[in-house]
């Protein structure tokens, strides 16, 4: 294995010089010296000893990323942006699937602490959410690991939060169905013990109350954010005569497509469908899915930048920001005459 000493000997400089140049620390070396060291390291296929570096710097330069379901394409843009920002700052991201279980999420978080990861990013799981949130908050405050959560209810001196205005997003989706003249709207919500599940329900009811809809003009069923629950719950709504379905995430909305097709109806013409998330495949569906856009890339870029600044000590106060979702109109919702 090539060492710093080998590179120093080849360049006729000290080991300290090579170490400073390759670790990108401040220095006053000439540009020719810097270029010679970097090119020699490349030519010799030098691989840094990150374990040794971590003993000196007290950092592993590793960020753990906990995702509830790696099969859910909603998270792809966020994961991609996280890796991009982290790589630019010299950090490696370790992705772990928490199987949509907040207690498994907690176990993984403990593992990251034990392995001395520099930070953790968490996209919250929905199963066992309340218990998991309470325990996660305790550990975040006890061990002070810099943690970025995509939520609003894990608090601590080392916890950073990014989240959407879920009430606004759900209100916009519901209002669009109301303004396009739908008479009976079915809502497939997420688990109500999960904060964003409840908030999306609140936004839905806010729009209906504002439009003075009667109780017989809407139906609420609870799903679990999965494709399967979207199909199952949409069947129930169709049996009750709904001419529009609002699913609280795009995966359930796509599941609702299946139910409408099974019922021999046409999406848009017979039954309008609107989702929430704006996953990248929504625009490719036939008909394309009307949905609520969440600015996942902006959330990841700003959140991860703030997290790494916090790790490196250039940020003292935790970062918290609420983002505004927006309506994306496509072909799955048609105006009723």
Tell me the β-bridge partners of 245.
186, 273
List the CATH number of the domain containing 155: 3.40.50.2300
Domain identity same for 64 and 41:
no
Judged by average pLDDT, the poorest of 35-49, 178-192, 217-231, 235-249 is 35-49
Domain identity same for 183 and 244:
yes
pLDDT at residue 51 greater than cutoff 70: no
Tell me which residue range forms the domain holding 177: 166-294
In a domain, 223, yes or no: yes
Q: What is the Cα 105 distance to its own chain's centre?
A: 14
In the block, tokens 């949905």 appear at 291
CA-angle at 244, arms to 243 and 250, nearest 5°: 150
In a domain, 331, yes or no: no
pTM of the model: 0.80
Domain identity same for 39 and 141:
no
pLDDT band at residue 55, thresholds of 50, 70 and 90? very low
Domain identity same for 79 and 122:
yes
Domain identity same for 81 and 227:
no
Domain identity same for 188 and 274:
yes
pLDDT band at residue 187, thresholds of 50, 70 and 90? very high
In a domain, 63, yes or no: yes
Domain identity same for 133 and 70:
yes
The most distant pair of C-alpha atoms in the chain lies apart, rounded to whole Å, by 84
d(CA 266, CA 264): 7
Domain identity same for 191 and 128:
no
Mean pLDDT (whole number) for 226-230: 94
DSSP string of 34-67, one letter each residue: HHHHHHHHHHTT----HHHHHHHHS---EEEEEE
Look at residue 58 in the predicted model and tell me its pLDDT. 55
In a domain, 336, yes or no: no
Percent of the chain with pLDDT over 70: 96
Domain count, the chain: 3
Mean pLDDT (whole number) for 42-62: 66
Domain identity same for 174 and 290:
yes
């Amino acid at each position: 294995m090539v060492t710093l000493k080998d590179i120093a000997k080849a360049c006729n400089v000290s080991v300290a010089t090579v170490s400073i140049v390759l670790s990108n620390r401040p220095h006053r070396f000439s540009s020719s010296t810097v270029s010679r060291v970097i090119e020699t390291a490349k030519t010799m296929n030098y691989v840094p000893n990150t374990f040794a570096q971590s003993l000196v710097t007290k950092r592993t330069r590793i960020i753990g990323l906990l995702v509830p379901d790696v099969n859910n394409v909603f998270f792809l843009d966020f994961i991609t942006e996280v890796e991009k920002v982290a790589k630019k700052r010299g950090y490696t991201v370790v992705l772990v699937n928490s199987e949509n279980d907040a207690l498994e999420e907690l176990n993984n978080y403990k593992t990251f602490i034990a392995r001395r990861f520099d930070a953790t990013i968490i996209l919250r799981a929905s199963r066992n959410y309340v218990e998991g949130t309470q325990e996660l908050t305790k550990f975040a405050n006890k061990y002070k690991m810099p943690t970025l959560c995509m939520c609003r209810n894990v608090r601590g001196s080392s916890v950073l939060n990014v989240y959407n205005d879920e009430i606004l997003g759900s209100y916009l989706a519901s209002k669009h169905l109301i303004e396009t003249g739908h008479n009976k709207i079915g809502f497939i919500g997420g688990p109500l013990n999960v904060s964003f599940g409840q908030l999306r329900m609140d936004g839905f009811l806010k729009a209906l109350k504002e439009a003075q809809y009667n109780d017989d003009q809407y139906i609420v069923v609870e799903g679990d954010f999965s494709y399967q629950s979207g199909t199952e719950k949409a069947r129930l709504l169709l049996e009750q005569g709904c001419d529009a379905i609002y699913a609280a995430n795009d995966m359930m909305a796509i599941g609702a497509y299946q139910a409408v097709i099974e019922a021999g109806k046409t999406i848009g013409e017979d039954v309008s469908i609107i989702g929430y998330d704006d996953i990248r495949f929504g625009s490719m569906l036939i008909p394309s899915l009307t949905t609520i856009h969440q600015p996942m890339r902006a959330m990841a870029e700003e959140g991860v930048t703030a997290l790494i600044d916090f790790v490196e000590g250039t940020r003292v106060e935790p970062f918290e920001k609420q983002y505004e979702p927006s309506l994306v109109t496509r072909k799955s919702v048609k105006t009723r005459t």
